[in-house]
Structure formats: C-alpha cells, structure tokens
C-alpha cells in the first residue's frame, strides 16, 4: 500500500492537529479504568491539604458500620422469610396438605416460593442463617433454618414410605431420598449437621446418613478416589464438587468422631488442588478433563468461591495436628493471596477473576468476603493485609441488596466451558439462589471481624490495627 507523501511543513501541521485532537478527545472521552478524581476545589497546594480531598468512589469507601451490616442482613432475612414457605400442597388444587393426609393425594409438591428448600444453594442459606443468628444473637435468623429443617424432618418418614409404595409417584423430596449428584447431597447435609450442633433436637440422622452414603459410596470417582463426573465428558473434575462434598465429610467426621471422613475430605482437597490449582496466579481453574492433553484455565469466580469456602470449612473442624492440615492451610493462604491481587477497584471480583473485561459478580464476591474474613478471625491470615480487602468487598456487596432484600448481580447456575464467551455471557438474575447464603455468611462474618479487630481510617485509607485507636485525627502515627 502506498502512503501519501508530506512535506516537512505539512508533517508539522499534521502533528499539531493530531495533538490538539487527542487533548480534546481526552475531555470528551475520559478513560473509564483510571478511576482518579481530579476534583477542582478552592485553595492551592500552599494553603490546602489536597491529599485529604474526598474522592468520588463508585461504591461506599471506608470501614463498614456494624449496624449497616445488620440492616443488610435484616433485609435479606425479611425477603427470604416471606418467600420461602415450608408447606406441602396438592399439586393440582394448590391446597395445603397436612402430613397425615399425604396418602390421600396422588400428587403433592412444595408450596411454591421463590427458591427451593432442598437445593444445595439453600444448604448454604441455612448455614448463613445459623451463623447470622449466632453472631447477632437474634434468634429469628437461626429459627429460619431450624423451622425449615424441622419441617423436612417431619415429612421425611412419610415421603420415604410414599416412595417405597409407589416409586413413580410425584415426591417433592425425591432428591433427598435418592440423591443422584453431589449437588443433591453435600451442602444441605453439612447444614443439617451444623443445626444439630446448635441444638436441633429433631430426627435428622436418616437424611444425614443417606446423604453421606451417597457421597462416600455412590458418587463416581477416579481410580485414585477423587470425586468426579462423566459429564460433560468422561472423568471430569468440577471444582464446584469440592464444596458439594468436603464440608459434609468434614462435619460428619466431627459428628461421628470417625476419622475416615476427615481422611476423605483432606484427600479431596489435595488431589483436586494437585490438578486444578494454578500456582502462577494462585487461583483455581474451573474444570479438568482427564483425557485432555492441555487443560484450559478458566478461573471462574464462584467455583473459586466454593474452593476457598471448602478449605475454611474443613480447617474449622479438622484437628490441629491432623495429617494434611498444614497443606490445606497453605493452599488457603496462597488462594487468598491470589484472590486479593485480582479484586477490582469497586470491591467486587470479576466473573472470570483474571479477566477485567468480564462482568462483576456478586455471589463470588460474597463467598470470598466470608472466607477471607473468617480466615482473619481464625488467625489464618493477617488482618492488616486483608482486612481492607473485605471491607471494600462488603461495601460493594451492600449496594447489590435492593430494597426488597433481593441480591442483584448473581450469575445463574453454570456448567463448565472451554472458551471465554461461555462465561462472559452467562445471565444474572435476582432469583439465582447462589447469592443469598453467601451474602448472609459474609455479613455475619464481617460483624465478627469488626467486633474483634480495630479498623480505622488513616490518611483517607482503611487500616487495621491490633489495638484500639483513640484519636480522631485524619492522619496519625501508630504509637
């Protein structure tokens, strides 16, 4: 291609016009990723502390107030308590059916609410409500879980009998009686054992043992015992499956005092991590297929959330000197280091964590907030380094809870993919159940963090101190 020739004078004029255009365009189209706020104020450098000018943040910045966190939890609770009824109805007439009359109805179902009471997402929500009740001292949070688990406990014997009499009959807890995936079993099983630990007196062992039997004995595994699936391909590892199995195994180890459950839980974390933890980025890949020569690395947000929460849950109950504990703790610490390095300036994390042009996602952010805050509270990582990370994250999460108490910005259920478009274009929806439990867990753990540490603004930045700070000066030295 031939380019036009310019004289020296024409080149100079052309360059000058180009520079003028760039300057003009910079005012019309400010850079979207710069974030710096050039605030025009009266005063000069010689008579005004310009560094104390308040930036115009996209989300609230600073140390969260405990009451504001509690208000957020209250909104979520109120919405869920109103929209998740614990009742059985005739599937045709929609009339409520009591337990003694189940046999009189050919088709029965849960009374429809916004969310399913026996999904893995609701196992996380039950755990979140229990933690919120413990931290706040407000019994209504714990009662949300206890009431619904009591309901499941009461209907379980009748539903099992119904299933034996007519296996083809419509049965609202078919997945409880016959789990066919780890999704059906792990999260809700772990929540039930936690409920038992917090004083639930009803009968749950039938369901708990059935769930654990599926995880331990019926779920497909690789030759080395790693939990796997044959979907979408033979011998597939889903990072999500760590959370759908390990917390239940860990809780069962504590509940029964049988170390075989601890052994399996530790083995799963280490063997998944050997294949799926990216040591360069300190992030997990979402999927691993045994037959692939190359393993594409898509660091999906929520799957990394399930992984980090799995390690926190396991360390919670694993004895201090247990074989493999140190390795799990090191993995957790490295994972937190990796996650913190990819947090966006809004406080949220991206759908694909290391891809800043993918959308910002709420459920993963909430899980990271809970897991990192809990790791600080348990002494696994340093509050000074990571306290500001979770404060920024919680402030962002709080903007995603709407006036109804719904959680916005949550990615819907997601399988595994091997191209970026699959993850970039997943829908988000307030009825994606994955966001609610993590938000409850994150808020409750943030309250504990604020109660047990000494965060303070210093020179306009969030800082965490190991002792009370009494000064209200905008800038101060630590004594």
Query: What is the domain count for the chain?
Result: 1
Q: Domain containing 422: what range?
A: 66-465
CB 339 within 8 A of CB 346: no
Model confidence over 301-353: pLDDT tens digits? 999 999 999 999 999 999 999 999 999 999 999 999 999 999 999 999 999 99
Residue 272, pLDDT score: 98
Over residues 378-399, mean pLDDT: 98
Is 6 within a domain? no
> 195 pLDDT exceeds 70?
yes
Is 3 within a domain? no
CA nearest to 311, candidates 289, 295, 334: 334
> 51 pLDDT exceeds 50?
yes
- Residue 328: C-alpha distances to residues 109, 265, 273 (Å): 42, 10, 9
> 269 pLDDT exceeds 90?
yes
Question: Within 10 Å of residue 325's Cβ, how many Cβ atoms?
Answer: 16
Cα dihedral: 117, 231, 365, 318 (round 10)? 80
Is 13 within a domain? no
Over residues 386-407, mean pLDDT: 98
Is 154 within a domain? yes
The model's confidence at residue 425, banded by pLDDT at 50, 70 and 90, is very high
- Whole-number Å distance between alpha carbons of 104 and 100: 9
CB 214 within 8 A of CB 184: yes
- Whole-number Å distance between alpha carbons of 49 and 211: 62
Residue 45, pLDDT score: 78
Residue 210, pLDDT score: 98
Q: How would DSSP label each residue in 23-82?
A: HHHHHHS--TT--------SS-TTTS-GGGSPP--SS--SPPPHHHHHHHHHHHHHHHHH
Model confidence over 295-306: pLDDT tens digits? 999 999 999 999
> Strand pairing partners for 89?
96, 109
What's the chain's Rg over C-alpha atoms?
26
Residue 236, pLDDT score: 98
Is 166 within a domain? yes
CATH number at residue 146: 1.50.10.10
Residue 347 token pair: 């406080």
Model confidence over 426-437: pLDDT tens digits? 999 999 999 999
Is 168 within a domain? yes
């Amino acid at each position: 291609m031939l380019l036009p020739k310019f004289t020296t004078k024409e080149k100079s004029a052309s360059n000058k016009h180009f520079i003028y255009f760039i300057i003009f365009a910079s005012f019309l189209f400010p850079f979207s990723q710069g974030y710096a706020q050039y605030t025009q104020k009266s005063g000069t450098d010689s008579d005004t502390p310009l560094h104390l000018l308040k930036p115009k943040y996209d989300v609230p910045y600073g140390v969260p107030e405990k009451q504001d966190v509690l208000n957020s939890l209250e909104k979520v609770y109120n919405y869920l308590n109103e929209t998740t009824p614990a009742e059985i109805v005739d599937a045709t007439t929609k009339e409520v059916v009591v337990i003694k009359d189940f046999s009189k109805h050919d088709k029965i179902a849960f009374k429809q609410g916004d969310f399913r009471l026996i999904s893995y997402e609701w196992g996380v929500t039950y755990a979140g409500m229990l933690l919120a009740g413990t931290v706040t001292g407000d019994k209504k949070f714990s009662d949300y879980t206890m009431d619904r688990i009591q309901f499941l406990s009461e209907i379980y014997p009748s539903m099992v009998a119904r299933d034996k009499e007519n296996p083809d009959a419509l049965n609202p807890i078919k997945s409880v009686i016959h789990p066919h995936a780890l999704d059906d079993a792990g999260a809700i099983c772990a929540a039930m054992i936690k409920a038992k630990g917090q004083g639930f007196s009803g009968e749950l062992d039938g369901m708990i043992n059935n769930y654990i039997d599926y995880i331990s004995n019926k779920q497909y595994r690789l030759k080395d015992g790693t939990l796997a699936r044959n979907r979408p391909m033979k011998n597939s590892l889903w990072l999500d499956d760590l959370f759908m199995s390990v917390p239940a195994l860990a809780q069962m180890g504590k509940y029964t005092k049988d170390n075989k459950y601890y052994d399996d839980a530790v083995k799963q974390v280490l063997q998944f991590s050997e294949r799926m933890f990216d040591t360069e980025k300190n992030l997990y890949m979402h999927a691993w297929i045994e037959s692939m020569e190359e393993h594409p690395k898509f660091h999906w947000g929520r799957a990394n959330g399930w992984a980090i929460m799995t390690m926190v849950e396991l360390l919670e109950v694993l004895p201090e000197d247990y074989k493999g504990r140190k390795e799990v703790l090191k993995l957790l610490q490295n994972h937190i280091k990796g996650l913190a390095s990819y947090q966006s300036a809004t406080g949220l994390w991206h759908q694909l964590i290391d891809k800043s042009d993918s959308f910002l996602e709420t459920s993963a952010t909430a899980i990271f907030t809970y897991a990192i805050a809990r790791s600080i509270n348990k002494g696994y990582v340093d509050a000074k380094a990571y306290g500001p990370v979770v404060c920024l994250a919680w402030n962002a999460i709080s903007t995603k809870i709407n006036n109804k108490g719904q959680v916005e910005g949550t990615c819907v259920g997601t399988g595994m993919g091997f191209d970026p478009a699959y993850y970039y274009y997943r829908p988000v929806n307030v009825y994606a159940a994955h966001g609610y439990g993590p938000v409850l867990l994150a808020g409750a753990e943030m309250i504990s963090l604020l109660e047990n540490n000494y965060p303070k603004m210093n020179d306009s930045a969030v800082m965490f101190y190991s002792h009370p700070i009494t000064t209200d000066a905008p800038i101060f030295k630590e004594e």
